Amino acid sequence: MSQILAYLGPPGTFSESAAVKYDPTARLIPMTSISSVAESVKMGTSHIGIVPIENSLEGPVNDTLDLLIQESTLRIFQELVLQIDHCLLAQPSVRIEAIQAIYSHPQALGQCREYIQKYFPNAQIVATLSTVAAVEKMRESEVIAAALAPARAAEIYDVNILAKGVQDHPNNETRFVVLGLEDHRRTGRDKTSLCFSFDEDRSGLLYSIMGEFALRNINLTKVESRPTKESLGRYIFLIDLEGHREDALIQEALAGLRLQTSRLKVFGSYPRFQG
Amino acid sequence: MSQILAYLGPPGTFSESAAVKYDPTARLIPMTSISSVAESVKMGTSHIGIVPIENSLEGPVNDTLDLLIQESTLRIFQELVLQIDHCLLAQPSVRIEAIQAIYSHPQALGQCREYIQKYFPNAQIVATLSTVAAVEKMRESEVIAAALAPARAAEIYDVNILAKGVQDHPNNETRFVVLGLEDHRRTGRDKTSLCFSFDEDRSGLLYSIMGEFALRNINLTKVESRPTKESLGRYIFLIDLEGHREDALIQEALAGLRLQTSRLKVFGSYPRFQG
């Protein structure tokens, strides 16, 4: 029986592509928000959920970080990296020279700025709430229009791909995490994600925490902070490190963290992604 | 003669409120993006510019961080903290019980989620590209509508404020920075903002850098990371610390940083904001 996989919809988004890449046999359920993906897994209406956590150009996906910080049931079971290729889509009859307007989400427009300036210096640029909404608006446009959107949206909306991979930076990748009720067993090539915070506001504390890892030669692959939402200037720190939470050295370091933090939460251990 | 101050427009945004609070006598020039605020100061068409850098609920404003990282001419001259109060605005004839639709930017809708669920459980929620666009769409709406927007937008668009401060978290503050061609002279109650990165990808390096500050009892008020845009998992670190870049201890620490980083940039020293 195929598993049920919740993702951040609608169909045609990069999250859907990530879900298909992760498990081509899964039954995919599109959700309207990152928190409803989590809810679906917690309620048992999906076996697992997939959400974006970080992009190589834009940085962290804050809704996912805040979900992991607040969440007490879900664990990270896997990670997955997807190359993000923006495509120029248009109705079947449209020639590329005739395009007068380009629709997309502000983030995609920003990632394709040089391409647009070079090939469509006079086009009207219209921001939409998502890349999929851009395809819908493009189809209703009164002037000859194109949309910047994932290739997958062309299949779903039955429009043409005029150009592929039009983003300015070639290294445009998004990291997704697969959420479930348990994390992954030890494989020997693992990562662990966690967060912590302090009651006191002393920078020496963060330094001391990082020492727990540095002194044991535990490599940190990510260090990030999010606001606590209590007041400006108070942060929750998020760390990714190499190793599994059951490894002896990591257990030692986590014991050290527990003594020095007011709050420590391990989001899970999972195999490192191999492209 | 009043100074010319560029800000992230359009008029009616919280950035405009911050600009008025910073200098009520300045001549305000609205710009369409954070980078065009910077451009205006660099070209000399404005004396200074004001941009948001951090919100207590949402975290960093990435466009501003990326601008500071790339920028070589501008310095942070001042900081300013503004309380963010979302208001419910509607046309003069509208009664609050009759509202069928609520327009706003997704961020403001998110910050007022509990308020909307409590008082408008059946209203249609419509996302717009900005809070000012929400007021425009609300005025054109075919059903009875309201918008979540700053109080200032009510003055400009001549609509009514039905409720004030409707955000779910009371501690909703945004920190702005004032950009100029020079940073601020030493006042004795200062902060310094900087960024650095490494060629090598070793977490021990970040620990060692933080040691330069911790061992001199220099308090860090912010630690953040941004992607380098080269590949997933490579970061630029941003730090705010207490003190002026001309203080002896901070000069020592910066000398230590220069030896250990491949890139170090001081965005400026400026007086700590006093509410």
| CATH 3.40.190.10 domain residues, chain A | 4-84+172-180, 87-163
CATH architecture of A4-84+172-180: 3-Layer(aba) Sandwich (3.40)
Across the interface, of A57, A210, A227, the residue whose CB is closest to B229 is: A57
Q: Say whether B3 sits in a helix, a strand or coil.
A: coil
CA distances from A138 to A85, A126, A146, A149 (A): 19, 10, 6, 11
In angstroms, what separates the C-alpha of B133 from chain A's closest C-alpha? 12
Q: Where in chain A is the domain with CATH 3.30.70.260?
A: 190-271
> Cα A272 vs. chain centroid, distance in angstroms?
16
Q: For the segment A133-144, what is each residue's pLDDT rounded down to a tens digit? A: 999 999 999 999
Question: What is the β-pairing status of strands A235-242 and A220-227?
Answer: antiparallel
**Per the CB < 8 Å rule, is B57 touching A235?**
no
Q: Which residues of B touch A219 (CB under 8 A)?
A: 202-203
Q: Inform me whether the pLDDT recorded for A201 exceeds 80.
A: no
pLDDT band at A29 (very low <50, low <70, confident <90, very high): very high
Interface test with A, best of B36, B79, B229 (most A CBs within 10 A): B229
Q: How many CB pairs below 8 Å do chains A and B form together? A: 116
From the candidate CATH numbers 3.40.640.10, 3.80.10.10, 3.40.50.720, 3.40.190.10, the one assigned to the domain spanning B4-83+172-180: 3.40.190.10
Beta strands in B32-183 (DSSP E): 48-55, 59-60, 75-83, 87-90, 101-104, 124-127, 145-149, 160-163, 173-180
CB–CB contact A203 B221 (8 Å): yes
Chain B residues close to A129, C-beta within 8 Å: 106, 127, 129
Cite the residue boundaries of each domain of chain B with CATH code 3.40.190.10: 4-83+172-180, 87-163
CATH superfamily of A190-271: ACT domain (3.30.70.260)
Q: Of B58, B226, B235, which is closest to A62 when you measure between CB atoms?
A: B58
Give the ipTM of the model, two decimals please: 0.85
Mean pLDDT of chain B: 93
Considering CB atoms only, which of A81, A223, A229 is closest to B225?
A223
Nearest-CA distance A35 → chain B (Å): 12
d(CA A2, nearest CA chain B) in Å = 31
Weakly modelled stretches of chain B, pLDDT under 50: none
Task: Work out the minimum CA distance from A90 to partner chain B, whole angstroms.
Answer: 23
- Architecture of domain A87-163 in this structure: 3-Layer(aba) Sandwich (3.40)
What angle, 0 to 180 degrees and rounded to 10, lies between the N-to-C axes of helices A203-214 and A248-260? 170
Q: Residue B214: which H helix or E strand, with range?
A: helix B203-214
Predicted confidence (pLDDT) per residue in B116-174, tens digit = 999 999 999 998 888 999 999 999 999 999 999 999 999 999 999 999 999 998 889 99
Mean pLDDT confidence for A92-118: 92
Please write the tens of the pLDDT for every residue from A239-268. 999 999 999 999 999 999 999 999 999 999
Contact A222 B235 (CB under 8 A): yes
